[in-house]
């Protein structure tokens, strides 16, 4: 039976299209679609169990995987099978999850899986830009309780013109790379990197993407209508008790408000809030707590959130006593660790990051091997968030998705300021030692100072700040919060992180939890973020104003030279013998890469001692030495032969040439040792390749004055006739003739 296929096509406005198709594949899933643009195809399936979990959160898993077969490639490594997701796949999962999760009902706790797979790859299509569209389209075909259709789109800007879902080639020329997630009514997520753009330009890019997302949402609704919109499933609603809710609110609100207004530290505040909660629970009997304990905790959290939000909206005060625009106290220090190439501590309030920098060669670049992209990064940042930084003890099970995402944000904020001519591969590692509000932005600040401490010539220093928003739709009040705390992150309506220089934004990450946020509020928040960012930047430059002029004494120095392609083999030597011995003798690391455009060899020399680097450069000069015809060079005798002396060019040790006995002096020379001996240093003239011997010819006598009355010796007798008498014709019968006889 041929399945009936339903399809909708989205016009991107420049000749490109995106199609959404269902009815052919994965029909046992609760919803499945194939999204295609060009030759790129994504299969998305969604399934949600009908049993509710006994949890207070939605157990949602968003999984994005790229199949190597989609690009006609084999997975790397020993086992030819896709294994754990790459960082690129994890980042795409996070982009989709952050938009989907808030649109499920808060009381929906069924295990839900969204699985997106790249099934066919197109070099001109970036698949992550369509992942959000695929996820939402599949959910629209299901019976999930989901608020509304959403989509995600990438925005680039080339020559001042915005482009929706640009190709990778266009992105290389673009000064903006932003992913925007939105419904038809509201922008919900923004993430990306920029080339020092203004706040207004960022808002314009968001508007441009939102206009295209509205079209994509309409296409999903049309597909669902044609397919047959399913009735939304029923599920057990969470237990509610209005009287209990009011009772807990009345008992908690004023007390929480007073503690919040006191402006205490995180630990003191947390302890005081816990005591209020325990006091409320103590008013109930054991039987009541057994029956209503979960509701009491839930209603207490709601009262606490309401009190803290009201404090900020009514009085402009925050949990730690600051006003909305205040930044917590900052202290910084560089060159803290004595053995690393660069280090810095950045502490803002109760958030602290220690960043280290390691300098290396191109061999240390971060290799990226994905079906949709192959390449390498010469600047990369890793972010670690151990449990002790929040005063917790919990198992450590590898790098979390959060650590990958926060590290990527900090990396995007900094990488534009690493100059293209930086000879090193630069690795920054951020160790978060304390956390109470935006450790990723602390990482940006610590990373900036650590690279400057390491002698990386950053174009401009970069700082970052985390912002929040509390708003009340009924009263129209809102408050933008600078440098938010961890608690403010959870109770606010928007949290966004912005990094930048004094001249513009370099990266951002924004999650908007309130519907219909106006662009005026958005721009206002971005402007306030700029003021805070510049304040923090001033603290950084007070600590270290400019990058060190050079790397530290114990850090490796890098020298890069280019050599002609023909000399690469001589520098490497048979089986790598020459380069290996050279590295061992000089204590350096030598890496040779080939420039595909010029076919030259790019030699990277990394070493802590200048003597070793100079020795390598001298060896390269020796290997690549080419004497010029007619020039005079100083040489040294290194070997005596019966028919001449082997001499070595003084300016290119290791380059040898035969000085024939006939070129030693104008007089006839019977013994070489009559004219020169081992170790003699003198000048010779270079004549190039001798046509008769086809070997290099040098002469000592050519630069000596001719003796008075000198008569050139007669040329040797031509031996050609004797040689001709030895020809084939005089050797007797040829083989064929003998055989014939």
Residues annotated as binding site?
Answer: 489, 495
- Give CA–CA dist 268/436, Å, rounded: 13
Answer whether 449's CB lies under 8 Å from 337's CB: no
- Give CA–CA dist 107/157, Å, rounded: 41
Answer whether 20's CB lies under 8 Å from 219's CB: yes
Answer whether 156's CB lies under 8 Å from 162's CB: yes
- Give CA–CA dist 362/423, Å, rounded: 9
- Give CA–CA dist 168/147, Å, rounded: 33
Three-state secondary structure readout of 576-596:
HHHHHHHHHHHCCEEEEEECC
Answer whether 455's CB lies under 8 Å from 342's CB: yes
- Give CA–CA dist 712/729, Å, rounded: 38
Residue 237: DSSP 8-state: P
The residue among 466, 432, 269, 468 whose CA lies nearest residue 351 is 432
Tell me the chain's radius of gyration from C-alpha atoms. 37
Tokens of 141: 């075909």
Query: Binding site residues for Mg(2+), as ranges?
Result: 489, 495
Answer whether 164's CB lies under 8 Å from 209's CB: yes
- Give CA–CA dist 493/489, Å, rounded: 8
- Give CA–CA dist 441/356, Å, rounded: 15
Three-state secondary structure readout of 392-424:
CCCCCCCCCHHHHHHHHHHHHHHHCCCCCCCCC
429: Cβ contacts below 8 Å, ≥ 6 apart: 355, 356, 358, 381, 382, 383, 384
- Give CA–CA dist 98/129, Å, rounded: 14
Residue 579: count other Cβ atoms within 10 Å of its Cβ. 17
Residue 168: count other Cβ atoms within 10 Å of its Cβ. 13
Residue 407: count other Cβ atoms within 10 Å of its Cβ. 24
- Give CA–CA dist 625/623, Å, rounded: 6
The residue among 378, 322, 346 whose CA lies nearest residue 463 is 346
Tokens of 675: 């004219």
Q: Of all helices (H) and strands (E), which one includes residue 184?
A: none
How many residues make up the chain in this entry?
A: 741
SS3 category, 456: coil
- Measured N-to-C along each axis, helices 199-227 and 131-140 cross at an angle, to the nearest 10 degrees, of 40
Q: Of all helices (H) and strands (E), which one includes residue 554?
A: none
């Amino acid at each position: 039976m041929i399945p009936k296929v339903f399809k909708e096509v989205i016009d991107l406005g420049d000749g490109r299209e995106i199609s959404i198709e269902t009815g052919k594949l994965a029909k046992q899933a609760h919803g499945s679609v194939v999204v295609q643009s060009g030759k790129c195809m994504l299969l998305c399936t969604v399934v949600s169990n009908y049993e509710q979990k006994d949890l207070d959160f939605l157990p949602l898993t968003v999984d994005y995987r790229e199949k190597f077969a989609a690009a006609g490639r084999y997975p790397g490594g020993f086992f030819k099978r896709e294994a754990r997701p790459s960082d690129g796949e994890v980042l795409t999962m996070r982009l989709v999850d952050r938009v989907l999760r808030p649109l499920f009902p808060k009381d929906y706790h069924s295990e839900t899986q969204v699985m997106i797979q790249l099934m066919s790859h197109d070099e001109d299509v970036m698949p992550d830009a369509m992942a959000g569209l695929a996820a939402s389209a599949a959910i629209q075909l299901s019976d999930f309780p989901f608020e509304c259709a959403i989509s995600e789109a990438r925005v680039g800007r080339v020559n001042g013109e915005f482009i929706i879902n640009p190709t990778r080639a266009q992105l290389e020329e673009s000064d903006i790379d932003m992913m925007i997630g939105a419904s038809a009514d509201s922008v919900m997520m923004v993430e990306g990197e920029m080339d020092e753009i203004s706040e207004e330009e960022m808002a314009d890019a968001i508007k441009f993407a939102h206009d295209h997302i509205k079209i994509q949402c309409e296409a999903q609704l049309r597909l669902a209508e044609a397919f047959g919109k399913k009735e939304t499933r029923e599920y057990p609603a969470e237990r509610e008790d209005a009287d209990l809710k009011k009772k807990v609110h009345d008992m908690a609100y004023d007390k929480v408000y007073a503690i919040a207004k006191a402006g205490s530290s995180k630990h003191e505040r947390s302890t005081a809030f816990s005591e209020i909660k325990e006091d409320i629970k103590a008013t109930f009997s054991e039987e009541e707590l057994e029956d209503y304990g979960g509701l009491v905790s839930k209603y207490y959290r709601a009262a606490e959130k309401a009190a803290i939000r009201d404090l900020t909206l009514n009085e402009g005060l925050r949990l730690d006593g600051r006003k909305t625009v205040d930044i917590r106290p900052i202290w910084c220090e560089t060159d803290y660790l004595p053995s690393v190439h660069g280090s810095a501590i950045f502490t803002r309030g109760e958030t602290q990051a220690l960043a280290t920098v390691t300098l290396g060669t191109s061999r240390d670049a971060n290799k990226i091997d994905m079906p949709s992209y192959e390449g390498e990064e010469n600047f990369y940042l890793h972010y670690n968030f151990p449990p002790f930084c929040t005063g917790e003890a919990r198992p450590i099970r590898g790098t979390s998705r959060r650590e990958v995402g926060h590290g990527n944000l900090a990396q995007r904020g900094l990488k534009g300021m690493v100059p293209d001519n930086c000879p090193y591969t630069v690795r920054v590692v951020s160790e978060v030692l304390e956390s109470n509000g935006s450790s990723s932005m602390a990482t940006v600040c610590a990373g900036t100072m650590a690279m400057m401490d390491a002698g990386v010539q950053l174009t401009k220093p970069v700082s970052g700040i985390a912002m929040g928003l509390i708003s009340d739709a009924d009263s129209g009040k809102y408050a933008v919060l600078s440098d938010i705390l961890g608690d403010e992150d959870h109770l606010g309506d928007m949290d966004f992180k912005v990094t930048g220089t004094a001249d513009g934004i370099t990266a951002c990450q924004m999650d908007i939890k309130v519907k219909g946020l106006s662009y005026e509020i958005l721009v206002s928040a971005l402007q306030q973020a700029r003021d805070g960012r510049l304040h923090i930047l001033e603290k950084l430059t007070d600590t270290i104003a400019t990058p060190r002029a050079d790397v530290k004494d114990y850090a490796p120095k890098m020298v890069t030279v280019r050599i002609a392609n023909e000399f690469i083999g001589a520098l490497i030597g048979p089986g790598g013998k020459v380069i290996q011995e050279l590295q061992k003798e000089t204590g350096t690391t030598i890496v040779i890469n080939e420039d595909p455009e010029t076919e030259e060899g790019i030699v990277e020399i990394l070493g802590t001692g200048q003597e070793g680097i100079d020795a390598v450069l001298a060896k390269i000069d020796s290997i690549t030495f080419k004497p010029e015809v007619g020039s005079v060079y100083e040489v040294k005798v290194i070997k005596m032969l019966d028919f001449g002396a082997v001499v070595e060019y003084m300016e290119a040790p290791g380059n040898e040439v035969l000085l024939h006995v006939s070129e030693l002096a104008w007089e006839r020379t019977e013994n070489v040792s009559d004219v020169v001996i081992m170790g003699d240093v003198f000048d010779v003239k270079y004549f190039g390749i001798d046509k008769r011997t086809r070997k290099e010819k040098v002469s000592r006598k050519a630069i000596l004055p001719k003796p008075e009355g000198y008569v050139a010796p007669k040329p040797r007798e031509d031996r050609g006739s004797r040689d001709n008498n030895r020809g084939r014709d005089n050797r007797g019968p040829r083989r064929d003739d003998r055989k014939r006889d």
